Structure 1
């Protein structure tokens, strides 16, 4: 589990099974894509999305609105997918865009600074670009990814 912002965390599917670390970070909500894992004290939304498949507008809105509503309630939110690389990163980029009013590529850089393995699938990146009407070619994302840590 990686902190992107004090209220926003990126996780892998296996992170959802470990309640003590979730409690230690005071996670109050989880958006999950790889499988449903629930705890009574944590608000959970499971959206079964496959990696590499474009995200429908309604699904993107549903996930992002969940993140934003939980944050507005003062909860820390963890977004998790199978490996914590693509699907969860996609929704965290959208949440950062919404909360900080920054361009998609800048939001990606924020995530990449915290998690050097962050790399949305091209289809997911294009879904974000379409939704936010920002035409950012995937090669620009790859350029940032290839420069990580430098």
Structure 2
């Protein structure tokens, strides 16, 4: 497995973010389409605003330890309406698929969530066809809660109750 670490996205990281969200294969199980530049800029500004809300939560770049290469995005975002819940997610560039990175990042985010005394639950939303992500989440204790439509796209909500 490639050793990786995470750091919060900063305003100068738009190009890495756009590299990820403009890749149709990355976005196939998320939005079913690549995100165009103008939409990505708006999304990135919202991501940056979210990153300012809490030091312990937000959107993180995934980088290789050996060369600081950009691998993808990891998120652990506090639910602003229900502050005892956070959403976990990740997107990995295709070059790094199948190398155990998503599993490693998911474990790190879950470990971080467990250290936050205020959290009671972590949720993840996936495309029901995304079997690899579903497997990662189930292997980390997540349980399927419901299937739901998200803006016309299918979604499965999985949850992990924290001790």
Tell me which interval the TM-score lies in, with the shorter structure as reference length.
0.3 to 0.5
Higher relative contact order (CA 8 A, sep 6+): 1
Looking at secondary structure, tell me which structure has more strand per residue.
Answer: 2
Larger radius of gyration: 2
TM-score of the superposed pair, with normalisation by structure 1 = 0.35
TM (norm. structure 2) is 0.33
